[in-house]
Structure 1
Amino acid sequence: MSDIIKLKFVERVILDPDRLVELCVSLGDAGAEELISLTMEELSCGLGRVEEAYTAQNWSIMSAEARQLSNAADHIGMQTFVTVVADVVTCVEQQDFIALSATLERLRRIADKSLNAMWDMQDIPG
């Protein structure tokens, strides 16, 4: 009984390739790449603001920041990220702070995977 098992969470992230194609068609490849890069930077900063609001227990700010994250992620097709952010907002609105802690941890994992997946997609030629 002294063995400790550490669970490793494995979850796929879903990116909407159609959204990326739409961006490339409407903005051109260079414009789409610039928008995606700026949005990813905005998401990274926004995650920091969500974390700060969580630490300060400022639920209205946390909810507002999370909604902004959702809008930005949706704009570039980060579907899984959008879904998990919505779950965070739901936890805040329902004042379920135990679930919020777990869901925020899930958001951290999904954010990392989603941002890496977007970077990887940008490296694909053509």
Structure 2
Amino acid sequence: MGCVMQDVLKLEMREPVRVDPDRLVELCVSMGEARAEALITTAMEELARGMVAIEDAYVAQNMDVLTRRADLLVKTAENIGMTTFSRVADDVAACGRLREGVSLGATLNRLRRIADRSLSAVWDMQNMPG
């Protein structure tokens, strides 16, 4: 039994990202809109830099740095209501601690996808009128 080209399917990996809008509102109420916006912008920049640091640590196979940076991503994402991003970053940290190469590679790929969509979702929510 052989596989012919027409039998090959390309699967698109897509899962919903969860951003907690209540957390964003809470930040605006407690800090004021301008300060909350500055905090969110800074956090998003930290998340982007953290992703680069995790990628570099992964390429260098430096699991200690990868784990520390993933733990920081968890806290930063949680602070601005990026619940899916936070949860998956925590999974990356766990795989890094356990030195689970195959699981780490798969989980890191998932974090890359989630990061792109989560950052876009927060940016879109931040720019909504009202």
Report the TM-score when normalising by structure 1. Answer: 0.97
Question: What residue is the counterpart of 1:106 in the other structure?
Answer: 110
**CA deviation digits over 1:40-96, x for unaligned, max 9?**
011000100000000000000000000011111011000000110111111112211
Question: What residue is the counterpart of 1:70 in the other structure?
Answer: 74
Aligned pairs (5 A) from 1:1-126? 1-3=4-6, 4-126=8-130
Q: Which runs of 5+ in 1 are unaligned?
A: none
1:35 alignment partner AA: L
Runs of 4 or more consecutive aligned structure 1 residues displaced over 3 Å after TM superposition? none
Number of paired residues?
126
**Structure-1 separation of matches of 2:91 and 2:123:** 24
**Structure-1 separation of matches of 2:98 and 2:62:** 14
**CA deviation digits over 1:93-121, x for unaligned, max 9?**
22110010010000000000000000110
If you compute each CA radius of gyration, which structure gives the higher value, 1 or 2?
2
**Structure-2 separation of matches of 1:12 and 1:51:** 23
Segment of structure 1 superposing worse, 106-115 or 25-34: 25-34
Identity of aligned residues (%): 51
**Structure-2 separation of matches of 1:42 and 1:88:** 17
**Structure-1 separation of matches of 2:124 and 2:35:** 17
